[in-house]
A and B are shown apart, each in its own frame.
Chain A
């Protein structure tokens, strides 16, 4: 086994010397991702607050049909703007987020005690019009409710008869579980890191070795080929693990800077959570190293190997995106799905939940089985002349 150790040491040493690739593969993620998170967090928090506090300026078409409604809106702090010619095109061109139109029939309907129609013109598919639209609707509804109560009271009916059901929200979400953005993104980032961290080394030590024509002389040494492969794979896994560890560490220090109050985010990056995540993702690092080394060995040149890597990225992305789009509640059987179970586990750890040992064991076990199967295939690759002499 000393051959394996020699190969491992050499690959690590040689790649540590490649400053640029070291930075790209191991350090860029840990620096970039937390900054990205904090930045996005602040941006989102600012936007939300801004809109909620902003003075609501709404053009009203046909204000003369409902002077009481308009003065109610004014009382609530809405700045009423003069009626535009063509409110639809104004909203469509995003000049104003929302326009109220009071049709001519409003006074008639109002007098007759029928539901009087008020139109709220907006484009809900535009995110920036969401908040103003919600506020306008809320105000209109409040006015409607107020008038409705008055009408009932005038007829001698208790307004509460109108409310057969009183819905009361009992909020069980902890501040942690509200940090959805971070929670959905974090597993994705960490899974990607498990792949990117060792990518350069995997390519350099296989396709690169082929390209600079040092593979043949290497194979003439009295070291079994599986040891050579395993040494390279272990070095790849080490780099990936280092990158993952550094990323987690920098997140731990970055989390206090996240705009927790504004977003209602308070996630847990305790030492225990860091250790738990490392343990859960470590098998992915092994699986990634085996996959990367296998693929890069099949390539004839560095360039070809690099072009395969785009495909490899899809592997951790797909389960993470499924999880992002459709967040599920973790159930035991899901822990047997490699790559997906880690997404769930990271979420649990970050939310500060106690993770059942069985879950952790299932996740580690299933991922490790696939990882080792890949490693076993990779270990035999250098036995094929086609792969050794393909250049």
Chain B
């Protein structure tokens, strides 16, 4: 359960987020949808306590990221916008490193590693150094290291960026399996199909504000449109930054 109230964040003169409030329910996939530069990444960064908000309040399962950063980081699994791997280390070592940073004992890490290799289908490359990995392989490793400590809440920033069709489908299946296993998932994206295929609830962000909030059906009704894409354009009032 995530509750965000009246969130503000500026970088110098740029007001990235100006008064965002929403709720993310347990066991649901929530999509943050918006054009490029709408403030999705900044909002997520405040949620996973990397950036302190200028104003407003965040509660994740009752915890405040500004004061309980460590506790929140233990319960979150985050696949951020940047997913750099260590190229002189194998995929397995990259993932295990994050397990160790979470203070997990060695045998627990190994156990969990096997599960993740299985679910994410990584057995072909898990023992290889990540130098020269494909985008798809890289995203899988980035997801695995974010999930190594079995977090309850998962946040992904544009996870399908740069993936081919097959990898995207595999990713979507994985996200749906997370929901089925009872995790809450927060997803930021600017890709319409992804939202339509995955999200229970959609939060449309534009120019640092919430433009609309609801299920896909509710958004279409609200805007009098037949498709989610039209609803999106109508709700944010422009086609700027819209990707297919």
A-side interface residues toward B, CB under 8 Å? 2-3, 6-7, 10, 13-14, 17-18, 209, 212-224, 385, 388
Contact = CB atoms under 8 A, between A and B. Distances in A.
B244 interface: no
B222 to A, nearest CB: 34
Contacts of A3: 101, 103
Contacts of B102: 221-222
Interface of B: 11, 48, 50-51, 69-71, 73-74, 76, 78-89, 97-98, 100-103, 142, 145-146
Given A217-B146, A221-B101, A385 B73 contact: no
A214 B82 contact: yes
A216 B73 contact: no
A14 B89 CA distance: 7
Given A2-B103, A3-B103, A216-B50, A221 B98 contact: yes
| Central interface residue in A3, A6, A209, by most chain B CB within 10 Å | A6
Nearest to A223: B101
A211 to B, nearest CB: 8
A331 B56 CA distance: 60
9 tightest A-B contacts by CB? Answer: A214-B84, A213-B82, A213-B84, A222-B73, A221-B101, A212-B84, A6-B100, A17-B88, A216-B82
Contacts, number: 74
8 contacts: A14-B86, A17-B89, A213-B83, A217-B78, A218-B101, A220-B76, A221-B73, A221-B98
A373 B102 CA distance: 29
B74 A222 contact: yes
Contacts of B89: 10, 13-14, 17
Contacts of B85: 212, 214
A123 B36 CA distance: 74
A10 B97 CA distance: 8
Contacts of A10: 86, 89, 97, 100
A8 to B, nearest CB: 11
A17 B88 CA distance: 7
Contacts of B83: 213-214, 217
A224 B51 contact: no
A6 B97 contact: yes
Nearest to B82: A213
A216 B100 CA distance: 17
B59 to A, nearest CB: 18
Contacts of B87: 212
B8 to A, nearest CB: 15
A157 B27 CA distance: 121
A385 B51 contact: yes
Contacts of A13: 89
Given A6-B101, A222-B101, A14 B84 contact: no
A216 B82 CA distance: 7
Contacts of A217: 78-80, 82-84, 142, 145-146
Contacts of A221: 73, 98, 101-102
A209 B87 CA distance: 11
A220 B103 CA distance: 14
